[in-house]
Chain A
Amino acid sequence: MRGYRVGLWEALRYRGGIGVLVWILHRITGLGILLFVSIHVVAAFFMNALNDSISTAVTHWYESHPVQVFVYFCVLYHALNGLRVLLEDFYPPLLRYHRELIWLQWAIFVPVFGLPAFFIAQGIVLGTP
């Protein structure tokens, strides 16, 4: 007899710790990066091949400030979280400080993401490039 694959709803109902949340966010940001790169490559190809209005609109969309902020969030979070996982895997005693390392990761993430995001948002609100 084999175990069974647990459905998404059952899995989400499990009250795991902070580790689950950062792992889910790692997956979401990874998918975000994949989505952005895929759209970028496909739109750039059609832009060159056809130069039609759809590929122009898609290019304008992914070059817009909100999408740039989203991509910056995804890349920065994915990189920092990946770095933490690498550190924990190469120095297993650090896993005793798993929770603290996650807070440290957020302490680095918030200003490094927040400041550029703030200035981009300010630019959008004030209408400056």
Chain B
Amino acid sequence: MKVILKIRRFNPERDRAPWWGYYQVECEPTDRVLDALNWVKWYQDGSLAYRRSCAHGICGSDAMRINGRNRLACKTLIKELGNRITIEPLLGLPVIKDLVVDLEPFMKHYRSIMPYLVNDDPPPATERLQSIAQRERFDDTTKCILCAACTTSCPAFWARPDYIGPAAIVQAHRFIFDSRDHGAEERLRILDAPSGVWRCRDIYNCTEACPREIQVTQAIAEVKREILRRRG
């Protein structure tokens, strides 16, 4: 099938404003959007810039707006979209070139919630053991691949870039409810700030955008509840 790709292009060194590039690509319906982008870059216009790495929905590099919604180009099939496909960079993050955005603001929020195990106890002889139920408590949020699809689909983040965003809260959830971790108090203090969880309005874009099908809004609500529970 013939597919028309409409791609938002922008080279800050050359362009004064973004513009639309149109490319016709011959695809199989079972090809992915990433395959079509690769075809454009390899055979039509080598100046097209986008991120990709594993191409199997694990690394999270190729999150972009495809037909108006955040998705991973490597997990979206052409047949899901039809033969006219619009591709744009993620919203709310500065565009470096074409579909490549600067993820530093996103990563800054991610780093702020201490995304690592905090436990000063002496290391045990073997592993820090957990029951199945304790592990199950945060299983959903371990699936995050930091693709930024959730945070950049959130209207609260669009309006206030200082909002910590769904992805950082998901990462915090992963450690807050981990029985081996001792940093929950500090993380909850960070998330209880004006730029923290209370900016979430339960809009649900994040959950619908997550390519890993994480229940993002539910995780945020669980963190809100945990803050209230600890306040007594």
Contact = CB atoms under 8 A, between A and B. Distances in A.
Contacts of B106: 3
Contacts of A79: none
B153 A14 contact: yes
Given A2-B105, A11-B155, A98-B217, A23 B201 contact: yes
A96 B161 CA distance: 27
A127 B179 CA distance: 69
A96 B225 CA distance: 16
Contacts, number: 94
A20 B159 contact: no
A28 to B, nearest CB: 14
B138 to A, nearest CB: 13
Q: How large is the interface on B (under 10, 10 to 19, 20 to 34, 35 or more residues)?
A: 35 or more
Nearest to A23: B203
Contacts of A89: 202, 221, 224-225
Given A11-B158, A15-B69, A93-B218, A3 B153 contact: no
A46 B192 CA distance: 43
Given A4-B161, A23-B155, A85-B202, A95 B221 contact: yes
B50 interface: no
A52 interface: no
A125 interface: no
Given A3-B92, A3-B161, A19 B153 contact: no
A92 B102 contact: no
Given A15-B67, A95-B202, A6 B92 contact: yes
B202 A14 contact: no
B91 interface: yes
Contacts of A23: 155, 201-203
Interface of A: 1-6, 10-11, 13-17, 19-20, 23, 85, 88-90, 92-93, 95-96, 98
Top 9 A-B pairs, shortest CB-CB distance: A3-B161, A19-B204, A15-B68, A6-B158, A92-B221, A3-B105, A95-B218, A16-B205, A92-B218
Given A5-B161, A6-B158, 13 more contacts: A1-B94, A1-B105, A3-B94, A6-B159, A11-B91, A11-B158, A14-B91, A23-B201, A23-B203, A88-B202, A88-B217, A95-B221, A98-B204
